[in-house]
Amino acid sequence: MILLNRRDAATLLLAQLLAPRAEAAAAEVVIDNFTFTPATLNVAAGTTVTFRNRDDIPHSVVSALRPPAFRSKVMDTDDSFAFVFDRPGRWDYFCGLHPHMQGTIVVT
Ligand SMILES: [Cu+2]
């Protein structure tokens, strides 16, 4: 039998309250046919966004900020890149191989 003192119990309760919100914050951008879908994705701060290449040619994801806030490696088919958007704002990005491919993550 495990006995918890009052502080351990309070910590456990806090962890239970905080954990579900952290786990729920995930979203995906699919890359196919030279297009990011959705082109604009709205998420809450703290969301992990996964960019997944479903195209049959390589692509990448590069933040439009200088210096870039995030930058993936070149992703082959079915490769993915994940980034946690923890700051509110508008995060424009493009494909490093095909700069006309553009998308935006709006974090609130
Ligand atoms: Cu590309």
Query: What's the predicted TM-score (pTM) here?
Result: 0.78
Instruction: Compute, in angstroms, the gap from residue 108 CA to the centroid of ligand 1.
Output: 27
**Number of domains forming the structure of the chain:** 1
> Which residues form the domain of 39?
25-107
Instruction: Compute, in angstroms, the gap from residue 27 CA to the centroid of ligand 1.
Output: 20
20 lies in a domain?
Answer: no
- Percent with pLDDT over 90 in the chain: 78
Q: For the purposes of burial, counting CB atoms within 10 Å of the CB of 12, is it exposed (0-12), middle (13-18) or buried (19 or more)?
A: exposed
Instruction: Compute, in angstroms, the gap from residue 56 CA to the centroid of ligand 1.
Output: 10
Q: For the purposes of burial, counting CB atoms within 10 Å of the CB of 58, is it exposed (0-12), middle (13-18) or buried (19 or more)?
A: middle
Per-residue pLDDT of the chain (108 residues; tens, 9 = 90+): 555 566 666 655 555 555 555 556 999 999 999 999 999 999 999 999 999 999 999 999 999 999 999 999 999 999 999 999 999 999 999 999 999 999 999 999
11 lies in a domain?
Answer: no
53 lies in a domain?
Answer: yes
16 lies in a domain?
Answer: no
Residue 62 sits in a domain of what CATH number? Answer: 2.60.40.420
Strands 26-32 vs 47-53: parallel, antiparallel or unpaired: parallel
2 lies in a domain?
Answer: no
17 lies in a domain?
Answer: no
